[in-house]
Structure 1
Amino acid sequence: MGNINKRGSKDLVVDSDQSQQDSPTITVDNQLCDAIIKEDCSTIKALLRSHPVNQPLTILTSYRLLFEQQTCTVIPIHLAAEYCKPRSLLCLLEHGADPEVRDTQGHTTLHLMLLHWPIVSSTWTKPGNRIQRLMADIQNNAVSCLHILFQHGAQVNAQVGNSNKYSPLHLAITYGTHPILSLLAQNGAQVNAVNESSMTPLHMAADILNENMIKTLIACGANVNCVIPHNGNTALKLAVCTASSKAGQLLSAGVGCIRLLLIHGAHVNAQDHEGQTALHEACCGGREAIINLLLEFEANVNILTKNGESAIYMYLQRSSNIRDLMVLTRLLYCSYPLRLTNRQGVLPAGIMLPEFQLLKETLVRLARKPLPLEDICKKNIRNIYGKKYKYYVRQLLPGKLWNSIYNCYDLADVLKGDL
């Protein structure tokens, strides 16, 4: 459900009795603040005759937890944007307010709009009770404020003046909802803009597994294969990493995001600077749904990292993975030559445990045993056609031959006795 008190903002309270005791400047500033919040445009116009429109207001604030009044400064146009007051915002702009004026943290008016964007539950099909109607009205006002800013020349690619260097699209990923992304893109936002960490908005959306945002960004022209220069990660690799984490597995999250990226051309075998692919990451996490999905899109099991680690090596690193016999068997059937060690000749940590001694011996024997030409051909067919096209191959081959290529239960039976 939406949050009535916008994130990061303080409740502004104008105390008429106290204000009379303050200096004339603070009194005028508080009156202008009050007029902006109430969208009293006639009072705003009158007060702007004595108060420069881009000059910060010094106003009284009430901190609910401290029960004491303090003063703070805020620029009038920022106040109207943060509190989603479209009539006040338009009035200020028509009287010379600069949408690009920045606060002390380097935020423009557009940045602050996105930082304080009101969130409404996506499960509301129709506003029902009073709170829901109130939140829907606030969000509609926020959209109106965005359009007003765009019409008055707000820079949709201006970066925040701090260490993050976020563009409005980056802020929308962090604080907003997916409809804002298309609004920004339609008004000229660069969908492949990078922040200080060289991440595009799509990288950020993939990292948090937000399928709606990924879909919107791709529709707006985001490059699904853009690489982060300092580590070589793509959006696919980031999505697989998050989906394969403990939290991703517990929530069963990310499969839709990963499939969406793959359908729109993400390179399934792209390697980062360490030589790892998305399949290496998935095998390290051991999540069957992600591994199967990558194999469906022809992920290559035999690619090695710079340290000589194959996908199956990564899978065997964790003892919790090894007990999933079907995944292990599927990886083995796609692996040739079977590489169980890295470049230093070290075996995966998982199979070094005493409980997996027999399995380790079986795998070492399989790795050392040269395959007959028939088995090599079968592996090549599986690697070329993968799981995605195996039923197409079934239409071309005799049933017995197809079963001999794709039936993996014989190897599963060999390993079952070792677990």
Structure 2
Amino acid sequence: HGLGFWTDRSAVHEAAAHGKALQLQQLIEGGAAVNIVAVDSITPLHEACIHGQTQCVRLLLNAGAQVDARNIDGSTPLCDACAAGSLDCVKLLLEYGASVNPPLFTFSPLHEACMAHSDCVQLMIDQGALMEARDGHYGMPLHVACARQHYDCAKVLLKAANVNAAKLHETALHYAAKTKNADLIELLVEFGGKVYARDNLNKKPIHYTSLGSPSYLRLEFYETPLTLQQICRVALRGALGKRACEVVSMLDLPNRIINFLSYMPPP
């Protein structure tokens, strides 16, 4: 933030941002306004959530802070708490009625959580966050998780999200391919990601990888018709979760060895 932002910050903003709960309590008892806004329309509650200051969040909410206040970008305190990965702040805001799906034109709280914090992602899903909410840049929450290469967030989302949902025909698998993340590619395909999906440039995910790279080879492998054993693996992973995947991966080991040997030149 620029100099103007800092010079316009109130004592309430400062106390909230730095977790000075006693000072904040004294300011509130002295009649300080808890909904005062700084430049960029940031409230003290935004500040407390950005920095994960749970005690200050509670004090502000008890004093009448607006739980769904918007800053200049349209973000609410819940968006900031999710971005910070502060599960305690998120839970507290929800207790005070924070909107899980605020009508935003930017990131939703779930989008923000998908940047890095799988526990917040799970909580938002449990609270009814929309899986196909769209922001103005990436698209849906699963797209964010893949673009930022957060495997754990993607894994949580895939239990509830449509793996092939697209923005401008661009799927999460396209994003994973662009980041050259072979593990994410495998995860998405095992949950039903379509390797033949084409974006608005008529490109498949494999077109965003480098020839011969791990991500290229992974997609090339999946572009061949799936065997019955691979189909069963996909189905079991989706139905039973991680443990089933581990078991089926063991069952699939002979097939992997055969596929590897088939690429080796004859003696």
Structure 2-normalised TM-score?
0.75
Contact 1:114 1:168 (8 Å CA) reproduced = yes
C-alpha contact (below 8 Å) 1:279/1:299 kept by paired residues: yes
Q: Which amino acid aligns with 2:13?
A: H
Is 2:118–2:152's contact at 8 Å kept on the other side of the alignment?
yes
Q: How does 1:245-256 map to 2 (within 5 A)?
A: 254-256=150-152
**Distance in 1 of aligned mates of 2:55 and 2:129:** 26
Letter in 2 for 1:311: P
Structure 1 CA distance, aligned partners of 2:214 and 2:95? 49
1:325 and 1:216 mapped to 2: Cα distance?
Answer: 35
The 8 Å contact of residues 312 and 331 in structure 1, kept in 2 or not, is answered as no
Instruction: Please give the alpha-carbon distance, in whole angstroms, between the structure 2 residues aligned to 1:173 and 1:390.
Output: 31
Q: SS state of the match for residue 388, structure 1?
A: helix
Match of 1:238 in 2: 144
Shift in Å at residue 270 of structure 1?
0.8
- Mapped contact 1:93–1:152 kept (Cα < 8 A): yes
Q: Does 1:101 align with 2:33?
A: no
- 1:172-321, aligned counterparts within 5 Å? 172-175=81-84, 177-193=86-102, 198-206=106-114, 208-228=115-135, 230=136, 233-243=139-149, 254-263=150-159, 265-273=160-168, 275-314=169-208, 317-321=209-213
Alpha-carbon distance in structure 2 between the residues aligned to 1:221 and 1:148: 27
Partner SS, residue 233 of structure 2: coil
Equivalent residue of 1:193, what SS?
Answer: coil
Q: Letter of the aligned partner of 1:309 in structure 2?
A: K
Cα gap change, 1:204 to 1:176, in 2 (>3 Å): closer
| 2:226 paired with 1:387 | no
* Residue of 104, 114, 123 corresponding to 2:49: 114
Looking at structure 1, the residues matched to 161 and 217 of structure 2 have their Cα atoms a distance apart, in angstroms, of: 29
Q: Distance in 2 between matches of 1:231 and 1:82?
A: 28
User: How many pairs align?
Assistant: 248
Tell me, what secondary structure is at the counterpart of 1:257? helix
Which residue identity is paired with 2:134? V
Corresponding position of 2:13: 78
Residue identity opposite 2:112 in structure 1 = M
Q: Hey, what's the Cα distance between the residues in 2 that align with 1:153 and 1:186? A: 14
| Letter of the structure 2 residue corresponding to residue 78 of structure 1 | H
Q: Distance in 1 between matches of 2:94 and 2:223?
A: 42
TM-score of the aligned structures, taking structure 1 as reference length: 0.50
The answer on whether the counterparts of 2:75 and 2:107 sit within 8 Å (CA) in structure 1 is: no
Percent identity over the alignment? 24
1:332 to 209, 224, 236: 224
Higher RCO structure (Cα 8 Å, ≥6 apart):
2
Amino acid at match of 1:210: H
In 2, are the aligned partners of 1:296 and 1:388 still within 8 Å (CA)?
yes
CA root-mean-square deviation: 3.6
The 2-side partners of 1:297 and 1:237 are apart by 15
Measured after TM superposition, the shift of residue 201 of structure 1 is: 1.8
| Cα displacement (A) at 1:302 | 2.7
Give the aligned residue type for 2:205. A
Higher-Rg member (1/2) = 1
Q: Is the 8 A contact 1:202 1:214 kept in 2?
A: yes
Deviations 1:218-238 (A, max 9, x none): 23332222223x457211122
SS at match of 1:89: helix
Deviations 1:166-194 (A, max 9, x none): 21122223446222111112211112236
- Cα pair 2:182 2:214 within 8 Å, conserved: no
Q: For residue 103 of structure 1, report the CA deviation from its aligned partner.
A: 2.5
Whole-angstrom distance in 2 between the partners of 1:111 and 1:150: 11
Residue 225 of structure 2 aligns to a residue whose secondary structure is helix
Q: Is the 8 A contact 1:102 1:108 kept in 2?
A: yes
Seen in structure 2, the aligned counterparts of structure 1 residues 95 and 300 have a Cα distance that, compared at 3 Å, is same
Structure 1 pair 158–330 and aligned structure 2 pair: CA distance change class (3 A): same
TM-superposed CA distance for 1:144, in Å, is 3.1
Cα distance change, pair 320–201 in 1 and its aligned pair in 2 (3 A): farther
Deviations 1:249-308 (A, max 9, x none): xxxxx3222111111x110111111x1212233234443322221122122223222333
Counterparts in 2 of 1:412 and 1:75: CA distance versus 1, 3 Å: closer
Matches within 5 A, 1:30-69: none
Listed one character per residue, the Cα deviations across residues 314-341 of structure 1 (whole Å, up to 9, x for unaligned) are 4xx412426975653233234xxxxxxx
Unaligned runs of 5+ in 2: 238-250
Residue 246 of structure 2 aligns with which residue? none
Q: Residues 92 and 332 from structure 1, CA distance in 2 versus in 1: closer, same or farther, beyond 3 angstroms?
A: same
Deviations 1:339-375 (A, max 9, x none): xxxxxxxxxxxxxxxxxxxxxxxxxxxxxxxxxxxxx
